[in-house]
Structure 1
Amino acid sequence: MRLGLLLPHIGTVNPTELAVRAEDLGYGSVWLGELWGSDSTIQLTAIAGETENIEIGTAILNVFSRSPAVLAMTAATLERVSDGRFTLGLGTSTPKAIEDLHGMPFDRPVRRSHETIELVKQFLGGGDERVDYDGELFETKDFPPLDADVEVYHAALGPANRRVVARLADGWIPHNIPFPHLEEAFEYVAEHATKAGRDPDDITVAPYIPSAVSDDAAEAHDAIRGHIAYYVGSGKGYQRAVAQMFPEEADAVADAWRGGDRKGAAAAVTDEMVAALGVSGTPEQARDRLRDVIENPAIDRPLITIPNQTAEKLAEQTIEALSPSHL
């Protein structure tokens, strides 16, 4: 079991220093997301130069703001500077991020994911045959492949996007699919992988594991409530994922959040939702819960994910308490 850590944005802590510490604590990989304020690929380059063995990855880069060619060049470069330790994690992001930040229409996200991943993998391939691609959204002509061995993961939630994983991706990064439903959700991926002539066992399942540890268990649980409320309120895809197990509760959370009542949205996240969607509590409680979660047969590569709104002390305690050296 390769336990990874999605590096949180906490206080003034340098992500590179945090990655070095994660390597010392035995984490198998560190990952960086990207929304606004910092370019994750530049930061990962710095991390690659200061670490030795820990794997690095993007979780996630969106498929709108960089072209497939830029994503492929970025992946090939990070693969070189890390001596083969890089994984490219992609996803659609949300209409809020794509339209309101990048100024682009959130148009045909599933098709864009399909063509982006397909084209990136062709660009990253080897051999003498030059890349020609004629898709619905992208058309490229006459460029040589980069001969870079990089796995491409996709953060998919809905059925159509999970079919993209099944047909093309090396790994799947699910988020906010309740842990008890994760095995069933992957069965859909496996079914369509088989139809596409692929072995489902070749697809790595690397779910986010929202985690918070504190000596005050209630503080840790509340951090997970806030995390769930943010995602359910901010994206309908996340809401639908949570609603697989908690339909009425997900609606209540989303309604409160979109109505401007952030505290009410967090309060609407029930104890059952916290248990099904995250790992939290005192150090010993959280470690026991994490052990239970990663025993799920659908999970290959769990990624500890710390809510960004947590206090610096809680984040640091979580990283320490749930590290492989303490499990």
Structure 2
Amino acid sequence: MTVGVVLTSTSTVPGIDTTVELAKEAQEAGLRSAWFAQTFGYDAASLAAIVGREAPGLQVGTSAIPVFGRHPLLVSSQAQTAQAATHGRFHLGLALGTKHLTEDGFGIPYERPIARLREFLTALRPLVATGSADFHGELLTATTPLPAKVPGADPPVPLLVAAMGPQALRVTGELADGTLPLLAGPRAIAEHIVPVITAAAAAAGRPAPRIVAFVPGVVTADAEAVRETATEAFAFYERIPSYQRVIELSGATRAADLAVIGDEETVAAEVRRYREAGATEVVFTATGLGGEADRHRTWKLLGELAR
């Protein structure tokens, strides 16, 4: 099973040179993938392309670029450029985003998100595959009067969606290659995510979808203190309806309850639980949990599990 790490999150964004060094360290530890959050600062796809060039043993991906405020033609250009730069190791993660960030940040209404996701993926799929599109929907139009295929952008960029609700999962299973759930524990993955997305993919004649579980976690000797930090760090998600739902479906009451915190044996056991629940890949995100010594311990363990 592939095991990876998030190198930039919405709360932790080191400089580019530092990020590259962290990626090289992750690769040396045996980790297989590095992921980058989209913020209002760095462009996640560009950062993934840079890191993928500097650390050629890593798969790289975005987790995740909101579809609101973007257009399939422009996202396709970004994704194909990153794919060509990394020689086929780029994974495009998309998201619905949130009402708050969409309306306050872009000044556009957060309306019909599932319909927008469906149209976005429908237009994007042929763009990354062939460089052409002729899509005219209710919410989006994407046509290519000029060629839009980037040389070397092969194989076609995998499309993943941070989908956790049933409607988003059905669209993702039908039109994308997998999902990127965050704060979805093994119970929610096994009972609510895998069945819905797998059925949708099968009905559409698509391969079994990837389930890339993003898991907050760290190996540490001071689990109690780190748990307190996690409670503060993840409280933001408890105000977002989609996360409220998946936290509850996971059998938890707070987001921090889903953080994997403890010694090597504890963390390894939890990673196995995600795999048994149906996760095809596990990606750890520390989000400021623990110190440097904890990060080294965590990456060492994850590298061993990846082997």
> TM bucket by the smaller chain?
0.7 to 0.9
Matched to 1:224, the amino acid is: A
- Aligned CA distance change for structure 1 residues 246 and 227 (closer, same or farther; 3 Å): farther
Q: Which residue of 2 aligns with 1:163?
A: 170
Q: Which residue of 2 aligns with 1:213?
A: 219
CA distance in 2 between partners of 1:222 and 1:316 (Å): 17
Helix, strand or coil for the counterpart of 2:5?
strand
Q: Which residue of 2 aligns with 1:131?
A: 133
Helix, strand or coil for the counterpart of 2:143?
strand
Q: Which residue of 2 aligns with 1:53?
A: 57
Q: For 1:234-254, what per-residue CA distance to the aligned partner results, in whole angstroms no more than 9, with x for missing partners?
A: x1111111122448x3xxxxx
TM (normalized to structure 2)? 0.87
CA distance in 2 between partners of 1:65 and 1:174 (Å): 22
| 242, 254, 257: which one aligns with 1:237 | 242
Alpha-carbon offset, residue 15 of structure 1: 1.2
- Aligned CA distance change for structure 1 residues 66 and 315 (closer, same or farther; 3 Å): farther
Whether the aligned pair in 2 keeps the contact of 1:153 and 1:171 (CA below 8 Å) is: yes
Matched to 1:229, the amino acid is: A
Whether the aligned pair in 1 keeps the contact of 2:119 and 2:137 (CA below 8 Å) is: yes
CA distance in 2 between partners of 1:75 and 1:153 (Å): 12
Q: Which residue of 2 aligns with 1:65?
A: 69
CA distance in 2 between partners of 1:145 and 1:303 (Å): 32
CA distance in 2 between partners of 1:106 and 1:240 (Å): 19
| 228, 234, 242: which one aligns with 1:222 | 228
- Aligned CA distance change for structure 1 residues 90 and 168 (closer, same or farther; 3 Å): same
Aligned pairs, number? 296
CA distance in 2 between partners of 1:44 and 1:142 (Å): 26
CA distance in 2 between partners of 1:145 and 1:11 (Å): 32
Identity %: 25
Whether the aligned pair in 2 keeps the contact of 1:173 and 1:207 (CA below 8 Å) is: yes
CA distance in 1 between partners of 2:44 and 2:277 (Å): 31
CA distance in 2 between partners of 1:325 and 1:246 (Å): 29
Q: For 1:32-54, what per-residue CA distance to the aligned partner results, in whole angstroms no more than 9, with x for missing partners?
A: 00123322222222212211121
Whether the aligned pair in 2 keeps the contact of 1:212 and 1:221 (CA below 8 Å) is: no
- Aligned CA distance change for structure 1 residues 137 and 315 (closer, same or farther; 3 Å): farther
CA distance in 2 between partners of 1:160 and 1:314 (Å): 41
Superposed CA RMSD in Å reads 2.4
1:293 matches 2:300: no
Q: For 1:121-165, what per-residue CA distance to the aligned partner results, in whole angstroms no more than 9, with x for missing partners?
A: 1111228xx521111111233444527411000111111101111
Residue segments in structure 1 that go unaligned for 5+ positions in a row: 250-268
In terms of mean alpha carbon deviation, does 87-96 or 38-47 score higher? 38-47
Q: Which residue of 2 aligns with 1:252?
A: none
Helix, strand or coil for the counterpart of 1:174?
coil
- Aligned CA distance change for structure 1 residues 25 and 245 (closer, same or farther; 3 Å): closer
1:102 matches 2:102: no
Whether the aligned pair in 1 keeps the contact of 2:67 and 2:120 (CA below 8 Å) is: yes
Whether the aligned pair in 2 keeps the contact of 1:221 and 1:281 (CA below 8 Å) is: no
Whether the aligned pair in 2 keeps the contact of 1:88 and 1:150 (CA below 8 Å) is: yes
- Aligned CA distance change for structure 1 residues 3 and 43 (closer, same or farther; 3 Å): same
TM (normalized to structure 1)? 0.82
Whether the aligned pair in 1 keeps the contact of 2:2 and 2:282 (CA below 8 Å) is: yes
In terms of mean alpha carbon deviation, does 38-47 or 16-25 score higher? 38-47
List, as ranges, runs of 4+ consecutive aligned residues in structure 1 with deviation greater than 4 Å.
Answer: 10-13
Matched to 2:276, the amino acid is: N
Alpha-carbon offset, residue 59 of structure 1: 0.6
Whether the aligned pair in 1 keeps the contact of 2:46 and 2:78 (CA below 8 Å) is: no
1:92 matches 2:73: no
1:30 matches 2:9: no
Matched to 1:14, the amino acid is: T
Q: Which residue of 1 aligns with 2:259?
A: 278
Q: For 1:79-136, what per-residue CA distance to the aligned partner results, in whole angstroms no more than 9, with x for missing partners?
A: 0110111000000111122112222221211111111112111111228xx5211111
- Aligned CA distance change for structure 1 residues 322 and 224 (closer, same or farther; 3 Å): farther
Q: Which residue of 1 aligns with 2:189?
A: 182
Alpha-carbon offset, residue 224 of structure 1: 3.5
